[in-house]
């Protein structure tokens, strides 16, 4: 049986992605995947990337377009395994993301 993991933003540190205006904070990493918060500044663009094992995304705050879908606070998006998308922030945004396997940037 696995270990219970607790965490939160107050105990995490923000890590730069190398793309100005986009960073992330890790809540949990395991077996090549992670549960993270992603912070995007208004006007930033996350380039096309593929999710080998899928992705679950929940918009905590802000407004983004991900894979052609306009999402606002409270919206959820599931990306199936093998699918690709990019993402644009229309406002300062905070995303909660669950990745069974890390994304591959194209």
Nearest alpha carbon to residue 22 among 92, 84, 100: 92
Q: What contacts 10, CB < 8 A, 6 or more positions away?
A: none
Average pLDDT over residues 49-70: 97
pLDDT tens digits along 84-106: 999 999 999 999 999 999 999 88
Average pLDDT over all residues of the chain: 94
| Partners of residue 99 on adjacent β-strands | 34
- The pLDDT of residue 3: 81
Contact between 103 and 49 under an 8 Å Cβ cutoff? The reply is: yes
Q: Indicate whether 65 pLDDT > 70.
A: yes
CATH superfamily, domain 21-105, is Jelly Rolls (2.60.120.10)
The domain spans of the chain are 21-105
């Amino acid at each position: 049986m696995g270990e219970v993991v607790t965490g939160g933003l107050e105990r995490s540190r923000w890590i730069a992605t190398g793309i100005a205006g986009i960073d992330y904070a890790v809540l949990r990493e395991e077996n090549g995947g992670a549960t993270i918060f992603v912070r995007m500044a208004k006007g930033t663009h996350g380039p096309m990337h593929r999710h080998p094992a899928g992705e679950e995304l929940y918009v905590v705050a802000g407004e983004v377009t991900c894979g052609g879908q306009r999402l606002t606070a409270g919206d959820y998006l599931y990306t199936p395994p093998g699918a690709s998308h990019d993402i644009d922030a229309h406002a300062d945004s905070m995303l909660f993301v669950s990745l069974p396997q890390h994304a591959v940037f194209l």
